[in-house]
Structure 1
Amino acid sequence: MKRIAIVVVVLLGVVGASLAVGAGNQIDTLRKAAIDREPEAPAIAQVENNDIRRKRAYPMQPPTIPHKIDGYQVDLKVNRCMACHSRHRTEASQAPMVSVTHFMDRDGNFLAEISARRYFCQQCHVPQTNARPLLANDFHDIDDLLRASQSPSQQH
């Protein structure tokens, strides 16, 4: 009796798998393509290279990078970003210095060099792009909300 039950389960599994393969073109996927075909990759958004800093949308948001960083070496031996953004180079480069928080260890002690936990810049900072949002978004930053809540006579 157990053998018959096992055979029936195996046969049902085989039939179900073959039906699923046949119906593979009918499954709606997140990538909007059949499971058995590789869709064409979407175009990569172009990096803005206008050297104009964008306004931050919320407090403590890491600033976005207003220039191209193609080919920048950031590894255990070299951090190309620091060639312009280190404390010693900002006067010559006119680039903003990295925040003092980048020189703090996890215990709040200030270090002479950038902290290891803040060394890899692209963990938080990304290049500015012309990419359209992937999802609809109705986020409003605090400035927009404050402006909207003020009456016309209070605005200046």
Structure 2
Amino acid sequence: MMKKLILITLSITFTLISGFAVSQDRGIGGVESLRGNVELEVTRPADLLKKVPRDQVDIESNYVFQPPLIPHHIRSYEISLNANKCLSCHGWKKAKQMGATKISVTHFINRNDEVLADVSPRRYFCLQCHVTQADAKPLVGSSFERVKSLQ
């Protein structure tokens, strides 16, 4: 019984000491996030903007139904409840005239599988699914392999 009590006491002491040592690592518990090894209270300079290729690069899909990538910058595009800059070129009425890809017919179907005359509210905010192509290194490693039928 005494041995168990000593082991428990030593275990708790070691845990407290090692936890204290880790927490002394700049006050962030030794954890490094995508922000880097920076305390939350510290404002660090913003990362540089990623380069968006000027020429459209056709990046192949990795899986079926993958949303297409945006091949141009969208820095000043407004997408809000009142406006959607994407639709000014990619909407069905203007796409041919603008030389842009039309949005998919799937964007006109609501959650009850009803076809609407305008873009479905759940598909209105383009950047929920579509991202800009960028020459950027991956944030985290991945062992993902493309679907064999797409290779």
Per-residue displacement from partner, 1:29-63 (whole Å, max 9, x unpaired)?
Answer: 21352547555544332222322332111101111
Q: What is the correspondence of 1:48-127 to structure 2 with a 5 Å cutoff?
A: 48-127=53-132
Gaps of 5+ in 1: 1-15, 148-156
Report which stretch shifted further, 32-41 or 122-131.
32-41
Report which stretch shifted further, 28-37 or 59-68.
28-37
Runs (4 or more) in structure 1 with deviation over 4 Å come to 36-41
Paired residues in the alignment total: 129
User: Displacement of 1:146 after TM fit?
Assistant: 7.5
Gaps of 5+ in 2: 1-16
Give percent identity, aligned residues only: 33
Residue 30 in structure 1 maps to residue 48 in structure 2? no
Question: Partners in 2 of 1:34 and 1:70 — Cα distance?
Answer: 27
- The alignment's TM-score, normalised by the length of structure 2, stands at 0.72
CA RMSD of aligned residues (A): 2.8
Q: Which protein has greater RCO, CA pairs closer than 8 Å, 6+ apart?
A: 2
Question: Partners in 1 of 2:45 and 2:37 — Cα distance?
Answer: 9
Question: Partners in 1 of 2:118 and 2:43 — Cα distance?
Answer: 46
